[in-house]
Amino acid sequence: MGFATVVMPDGRAWVPRFVVAINKDKCIGCGRCFKVCGRDVLQLMGVDDEGQLIAVDADDDDDDEYEKKVMTVVNEQSCVGCEACAKICPKKCYSHAALEI
């Protein structure tokens, strides 16, 4: 078994590593990863006092209903494996993996 590999224009091989999970205990919901991902892979969610995830309305300024906010993976299949989200994350919340073929 090997991994999906891309040959770059200069001949180098690159193994994309796709987002697998975000550690919700470490995530501070800062949104930096959301801003660098142009593929609609991520969504900011609120966590209520019971630990349930609630979609955050971007137009709603009322943060009182959330215990905290965290980023979640909603469209894993849209990830291109660039790892920009992990590179910009200040808390190192991301797990990525290469695609086995």
Residue 48 lies in a domain: yes
Residue 54 lies in a domain: yes
- Residues 85 and 36 sit within 8 Å (Cβ to Cβ): yes
Task: Residue 69: give the domain boundaries.
Answer: 21-94
Residue 1 lies in a domain: no
Blockwise average pLDDT, block size 10, the chain, 101 residues? 94 97 96 95 92 79 78 96 98 97 91
Residue 11 lies in a domain: no
What distance in Å separates the CA atoms of residue 16 and residue 97, rounded to the nearest whole number?
8
Say how many domains are in the chain. Answer: 1
Residue 81 lies in a domain: yes
Residue 7 lies in a domain: no
Which CATH number goes with the domain that contains 47? 3.30.70.20
Note the pTM of the prediction, 2 decimals: 0.84
Express each pLDDT in 47-71 by its tens digit.
Answer: 988 889 998 876 666 666 788 999 9
Phi, psi of 87 (to 5 degrees): -70, -30
Buried b (16+ CB within 10 A) or exposed e, 46-85: bbeeeeeeeebeeeeeeeeebeebbbbbeeeeebebbbbb
